Structures are given as structure tokens and as C-alpha cells.
């Protein structure tokens, strides 16, 4: 199937073609016609599956059609996202895909000066992409009116709920017309997400993409058992010996992120950290340096990394395992995007085996625990089968996730890669 058959306008097809996309991803095939039809949509899709274009393209088309019919300027579409990074990325997609349309959009999030955002909102925009807290600040100051919104998008709804945005979303939705189109995208359909959908969506079309762990299936996964105090050394060793030019590393705490970035720098590896205590400017600069590859390792906490889209990122390291297995799925979804090859490496301290087991249950895959020669743990094991011993890169193994076929891979990738298009 090609993009031409989805009902998109020539302007949008031109922009899509310029991006080099030839075939719509599975979520795009289902979501684009459904959104163009005007009904509500509830879709389970990870980042990395092409979900941003799945709602942005038809949203742009509907906003443009509406704007052509009535010349009155007003906010016609509102996208709510959990983090600034995701808001900035969605806004980037809006401007990329909408480059041949006369549509103005604004990105509104905290950590950036109010003044500039206020000026943009007051000049008038067609689309607002916002994090809930900062949008409420602008609503309270009368900088923006949302009474003319035709389309509401709740992006990464599960994450917004996890981050405690439910009351803020409720407040914002109260300012919107009852008669509107609402689209909800979420990695998982938890009870809380379904509850949100019941409140805000009207007879939505359900789109479920091959279970909620699609991103996890597209990425090769490996785990190393290692003493916690030697994790930094193991990371430097892998970066050097496997010649990783760009690696995104997750730590559990902000202090841990700063400390690790310093340790890597001392080991001669250019590294920076991003987390919630850094200003938006600092986060943006670190991210850009990483994208330009002048920084080799970006060390991030979960919140800071939510929604990051780094084209061609090949390696993600879980330096600390997350307590919430859903965070693992989000983390590894930063790689293996748009059908690219991606690898996820987890460092498992003696006291983190339980988290690994929970993660394996969530991703429905066996992630074999291995020991790298020279990094044998000295801490006493608690439970579980003995890890296998490896001196080189781990072998391939069939993917346990969804029974997909394995593919060959280049040297240095973890085992269990299932080669597939994003779904």
C-alpha cells in the first residue's frame, strides 16, 4: 500500500515524499483514513511506530479544510503531550508535514519563557501542541481561547496519567467544545487509560497494533549481570570495544545521571546528562550535541527521555533497570525506530534480578542474563538460573516475542533481534 491511497491531499503527500517515506506504517494505514472520516480514535501505539505522522497528517488535512471553509482565525486543533521533548517533536512533525500548507502552529511547554509563547498565541495559531501545566498557565492569563477546537489529540495518554496530569487534562477539556473529534494514543490500554477514553471519547474506533509492546519486538535485547559498582566501567568498556558512536543511557535518578556523565568524561568519553533539573535550554543543547554526534553518550532519566526521536540511534543502555516495566518499553523504543536496527543492553546488578523478570513478563520475551569476561560479579547471587558466560558478543537467538523470525545482524549487537517493519 502507498500513501496515495489514504485520502491525503497533494500538499501532504509531497511533504511525506520529501521525508523519504514510501510506505505507510501499520498504524498510519489504519489511523489516517479513520481520522479523516471525522470519528474518534483510540489507538495503542508506541513511539517508534510512526504514530506521530499517523495523527499529524490527517489532523493537518482537517485543520486546513476547516480553515479554508471559514476564514475566522482560531485554534482548531490541540495536541496534549506529557513532556516538553515530545511537544517539541510533535511540533517539528507538524511543521515538516505541513510545510506546503498555510497553517501556523505553536509549541507550548514549561521551562521556556512565557513571553515569547504569549506573543505567538496572541498573534493567532491554528494548532497548539502543549504540555498540560503550561497550557493552563496560558488559559488562566487569557492568552489563548480553546472554544473553537475541532480536534483534540491526547498523545502518550498512559504517560500523562502516570505523571499525574489527569486533573490538568480535565480542566483543559472543560474549555473545549463538547462537539469535537478526539484522538487518544497510548502505549498501553490500562484501566486508567480506558477510563479517560470513556470520559472524553465518543464511540471511538479502536486501533490496536499487535499488542502494546511493538517497539520491544523491533529491538534486540541483552542483559549483563554485573556488580553495581562496576557498571560505569562496563559501559566504558562496551562503548570503546564495540565502537559505539552514539549511545543513550538511562539511569534511575538525576544525581545518578550527572555522576555517570562525569565518570564517562573522566574515562575520555564525551558525555552529557539530561533530566528534570536541567533547564529546557540545557536539555536542548545536550540533545542537539548528541544528535550531531559531538557527544557520544547521553545519560538521561526516564522523564527527560520521554518521546525523544533520535534518527538512527543504534544503542540504548539500561544502566539502572526501571522499577516500572512500561518504562523499559519506552526506553528501548528510542532505538529500532522507523524500521532501523536497534539494540538495548541492560546492566543488571545483583539486586535487580526481580526487575528483569518483571520486564521479561511485560515484553513477553526471554532476555538471557549473561556475564562478560572480566566483569564476573563478586556479589552473592540471590535467586534465578545461573547466567551464561560470554567473552565476546552474545549469540543470536530466536525472538520469543510474538514468534517472529530472526534476522542476521552486524557484530556487537545483542541477541534476539526480530527484523520487522514498524507496526
Nearer to ligand AMP, 338 or 377 (CB): 338
DSSP 360-422: HHHHTS---EEEETT----SPP-SSSPPEEESSSPPP----STTPPB----TTPPS--B----
> Is residue 365 within 8 Å of 278, Cβ to Cβ?
no
Closest contact distance (angstroms) between CB of 376 and ligand AMP is 38
Q: Check residue 340 and report its DSSP letter.
A: -
Closest contact distance (angstroms) between CB of 87 and ligand AMP is 13
Closest contact distance (angstroms) between CB of 54 and ligand AMP is 7
Closest contact distance (angstroms) between CB of 267 and ligand AMP is 31
Nearer to ligand AMP, 138 or 337 (CB): 337
Distances (CA, A) of 86 to 218, 231, 244, 333, 380: 21, 29, 25, 14, 41
Nearer to ligand AMP, 21 or 100 (CB): 21
Distances (CA, A) of 413 to 161, 321, 343, 344: 34, 19, 6, 9
Closest contact distance (angstroms) between CB of 277 and ligand AMP is 26
Nearer to ligand AMP, 48 or 204 (CB): 48
* Binding stretches for ligand AMP (CB under 6 A): 21, 23-25, 28, 47-53, 309, 311, 337-338
Question: Which H helix or E strand runs over 237?
Answer: helix 231-241
137 phi, psi to nearest 5 deg: -55, -45
Query: How far apart are alpha carbons 212 and 229 in whole angstroms?
Result: 34
Query: How far apart are alpha carbons 195 and 362 in whole angstroms?
Result: 22
Nearer to ligand AMP, 209 or 286 (CB): 209
Grid coordinates 489529540 are at which residue?
153
For 273, other C-beta atoms within 10 Å of its C-beta total 27
Nearer to ligand AMP, 28 or 236 (CB): 28
Closest contact distance (angstroms) between CB of 257 and ligand AMP is 23
Residue 185's contacts (CB-CB under 8 Å, 6 or more residues apart) are: 43, 44, 45, 51, 54, 55, 153, 154, 155, 156, 157
Which grid coordinates belong to 129? 501542541
Nearer to ligand AMP, 51 or 296 (CB): 51
> Is residue 359 within 8 Å of 365, Cβ to Cβ?
no
343 - beta bridge partners? 220, 315
Closest contact distance (angstroms) between CB of 312 and ligand AMP is 9
Closest contact distance (angstroms) between CB of 52 and ligand AMP is 3
Query: How far apart are alpha carbons 195 and 237 in whole angstroms?
Result: 46
Nearer to ligand AMP, 220 or 309 (CB): 309
> Is residue 218 within 8 Å of 336, Cβ to Cβ?
yes
Question: Which H helix or E strand runs over 220?
Answer: strand 220-225
Query: How far apart are alpha carbons 65 and 68 in whole angstroms?
Result: 5
Closest contact distance (angstroms) between CB of 21 and ligand AMP is 4
Closest contact distance (angstroms) between CB of 3 and ligand AMP is 7
Nearer to ligand AMP, 85 or 150 (CB): 85
Nearer to ligand AMP, 53 or 274 (CB): 53
Amino acid at each position: 500500500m502507498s500513501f496515495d491511497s489514504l485520502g491525503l491531499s497533494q500538499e501532504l503527500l509531497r511533504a511525506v515524499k520529501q521525508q523519504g517515506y514510501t510506505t505507510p506504517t501499520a498504524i498510519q494505514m489504519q489511523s489516517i483514513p479513520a481520522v479523516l472520516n471525522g470519528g474518534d480514535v483510540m489507538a495503542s501505539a508506541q513511539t517508534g511506530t510512526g504514530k506521530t505522522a499517523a495523527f499529524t497528517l490527517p489532523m493537518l488535512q482537517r485543520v486546513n479544510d476547516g480553515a479554508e471553509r471559514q476564514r475566522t482565525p482560531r485554534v482548531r486543533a490541540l495536541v496534549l503531550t506529557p513532556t516538553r521533548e515530545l511537544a517539541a517533536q510533535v511540533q517539528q512533525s507538524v511543521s515538516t508535514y505541513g510545510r506546503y500548507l498555510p497553517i501556523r502552529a505553536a509549541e507550548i511547554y514549561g521551562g521556556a519563557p512565557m513571553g515569547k509563547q504569549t506573543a505567538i498565541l496572541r498573534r493567532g495559531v491554528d494548532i497548539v501542541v502543549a504540555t498540560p501545566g503550561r497550557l493552563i498557565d496560558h488559559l488562566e492569563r487569557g492568552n489563548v481561547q480553546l472554544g473553537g477546537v475541532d480536534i483534540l489529540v491526547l498523545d502518550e495518554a498512559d504517560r500523562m496519567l502516570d505523571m499525574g496530569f489527569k486533573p490538568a487534562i480535565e480542566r483543559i477539556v472543560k474549555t473545549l467544545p463538547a462537539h469535537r473529534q478526539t484522538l487518544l494514543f497510548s502505549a498501553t490500554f490500562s484501566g486508567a487509560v480506558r477510563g479517560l477514553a470513556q470520559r472524553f471519547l465518543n464511540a471511538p474506533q479502536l486501533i490496536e497494533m499487535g499488542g502494546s509492546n511493538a517497539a520491544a519486538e523491533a529491538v534486540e535485547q541483552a542483559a549483563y549481570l554485573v556488580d553495581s559498582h562496576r557498571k560505569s566501567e562496563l559501559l566504558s568498556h562496551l562503548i570503546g570495544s564495540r565502537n559505539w558512536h552514539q549511545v543513550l543511557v538511562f539511569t534511575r535518578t538525576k544525581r545518578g545521571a550527572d555522576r555517570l556523565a562525569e565518570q564517562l568524561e573522566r574515562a575520555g568519553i564525551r558525555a552529557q546528562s539530561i533530566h528534570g533539573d536541567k533547564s529546557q535550554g540545557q536539555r536542548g543543547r545536550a540533545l542537539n550535541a548528541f544528535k550531531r554526534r559531538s557527544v557520544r553518550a547521553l545519560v538521561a532519566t526516564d522523564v527527560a527521555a520521554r518521546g525523544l526521536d533520535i534518527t538512527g540511534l543504534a544503542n540504548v543502555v539500561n544502566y539502572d533497570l526501571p522499577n516500572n516495566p512500561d518504562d523499559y518499553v519506552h526506553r528501548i523504543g528510542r532505538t529500532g525506530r522507523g524500521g532501523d536496527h536497534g539494540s538495548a543492553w541492560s546492566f543488571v546488578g545483583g539486586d535487580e534480578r526481580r526487575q528483569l523478570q518483571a520486564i521479561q513478563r511485560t515484553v513477553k520475551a526471554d532476555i538471557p542474563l549473561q556475564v562478560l569476561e572480566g566483569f564476573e560479579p563478586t556479589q552473592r547471587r540471590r535467586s534465578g538460573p545461573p547466567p551464561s558466560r560470554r567473552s565476546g558478543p552474545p549469540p543470536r537467538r530466536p525472538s520469543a516475542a510474538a514468534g517472529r523470525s530472526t534476522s542476521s545482524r552486524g557484530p556487537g549487537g545483542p541477541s534476539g533481534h526480530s527484523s520487522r517493519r514498524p507496526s
